[in-house]
Amino acid sequence: MKNFIQPGDIVPVTAPADVASGDLVVVGTLFGVATADAANGAVVEIKTTGIFVLPKTSAQAWTQGAKVYWDAGNSVLTTTVSTNLFIGNAVEGADNPSATGVVRLSI
């Protein structure tokens, strides 16, 4: 295949803000977890597949398999659809309250 570029599970993007390794990075509707620290405007590689521990709305309980969405206004994942961007599914249940949840990214 002459048109193949790469597998696509790690892609470079322009950091929309300062990010730390392990942060969820959202650029338009493209998202992944930062593989390194990066300053706003710098190129950072993001992992677009896999299972990660990520920040969630503390006051929500999640069930295994629940759809989770990026709440950009609060910089956390939520089960509230609204205008939030679908990110993936909860791999494990998460209590209310709890600050993080285990999520499988979906592309």
pLDDT tens digits along 32-64: 999 999 999 999 999 999 999 999 999 999 999
Query: Any idea where the domains of the chain sit in the sequence?
Result: 10-47, 51-105
pLDDT at residue 34 in the model? 98
pLDDT at residue 107 in the model? 79
Buried b (16+ CB within 10 A) or exposed e, 36-60: eebeeeeebbbbbeeebebebbeeb
Using the predicted structure, report yes or no on whether residue 30 has a pLDDT greater than 90.
Answer: yes
pLDDT tens digits along 87-102: 999 999 999 999 999 9
Calculate the average pLDDT of the chain: 97
Q: Does the model's pTM come out above 0.85?
A: yes
